[in-house]
């Protein structure tokens, strides 16, 4: 009588790759440490006692007397102050250089310039409308082109960059106010082209 296949199961073949495998990790059944249980119990007990002893009917008159406006604090101005140095770095430094010396024969210097240190309304008009023609700075004639910034910068920004320039590289002129720039903008509002050199510029002294 032949033996059936079920009576003699075949031996399972284990490959070398399977033999290298380690058993899958599993979580142990270690109990929670008793100090941790005690700490949790203390925290729960403290919370119950704290809530039970709290007074929820405290009169509002027991406060410090400050009203809503005082609690809100001082309101800051919505308009951020213009940074003249940053505006100069982004708009002017390519021509006039970080040293304020300009480029010889091409762009005039700002350091020691009689125009920079002259009338604030004149230098404001220059920034607003630009120059396209000859201008003499520190005894040297320059015949270049300066762009207009009336449509690119606000009165505050123009005042800030002018105040920065008038206080750098040995310049000691007074700051320029936004009101001065606004008046210069109004005075020359009909101008649609740059000033044709210094012959069209207002006096700087």
Best CA proximity match to 143, nearest among 153, 133, 151: 133
pLDDT tens profile 137-191 = 999 999 888 999 999 999 999 999 999 999 999 999 999 999 999 999 999 999 9
pLDDT at 71 over 60: no
Residue 192, classed as helix, strand or coil, is coil
Residues 171/139, Cβ–Cβ less than 8 Å: no
Handedness of CA 185, 190, 196, 199 (dihedral sign): negative
pLDDT for 78 equals 41
CA 9 to chain CA centroid, nearest Å: 78
84-187: which CATH topology? Cytochrome Bc1 Complex; Chain D, domain 2 (1.10.760)
Residues 157/88, Cβ–Cβ less than 8 Å: no
Question: What are the extents of the domains in the chain?
Answer: 84-187
């Amino acid at each position: 009588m032949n033996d059936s296949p079920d009576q003699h199961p075949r031996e399972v073949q284990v490959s070398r790759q399977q033999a290298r495998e380690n058993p899958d990790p599993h979580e142990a059944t270690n109990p929670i440490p008793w100090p941790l249980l005690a700490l949790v119990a203390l925290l729960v007990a403290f919370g119950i006692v704290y809530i039970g002893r709290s007074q929820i009917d405290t009169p509002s008159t027991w406060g410090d007397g400050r009203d809503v406006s005082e609690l809100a604090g001082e309101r800051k101005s919505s308009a951020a102050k213009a940074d003249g140095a940053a505006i100069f770095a982004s708009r002017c430094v390519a021509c006039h250089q970080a040293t304020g010396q300009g480029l010889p024969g091409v762009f005039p210097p700002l350091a020691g310039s009689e125009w920079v240190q002259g009338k604030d309304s004149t230098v404001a008009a220059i920034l607003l409308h630009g120059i396209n023609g000859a201008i003499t700075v520190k005894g040297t004639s320059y015949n270049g082109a300066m762009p207009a910034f009336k449509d690119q910068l606000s009165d505050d920004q123009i005042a800030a960059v002018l105040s920065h320039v008038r206080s750098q590289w040995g310049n000691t002129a007074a700051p320029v106010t936004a009101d001065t720039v606004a008046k210069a903008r109004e005075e020359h509002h009909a101008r649609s082209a740059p000033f044709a050199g210094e012959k069209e510029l207002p006096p700087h002294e």
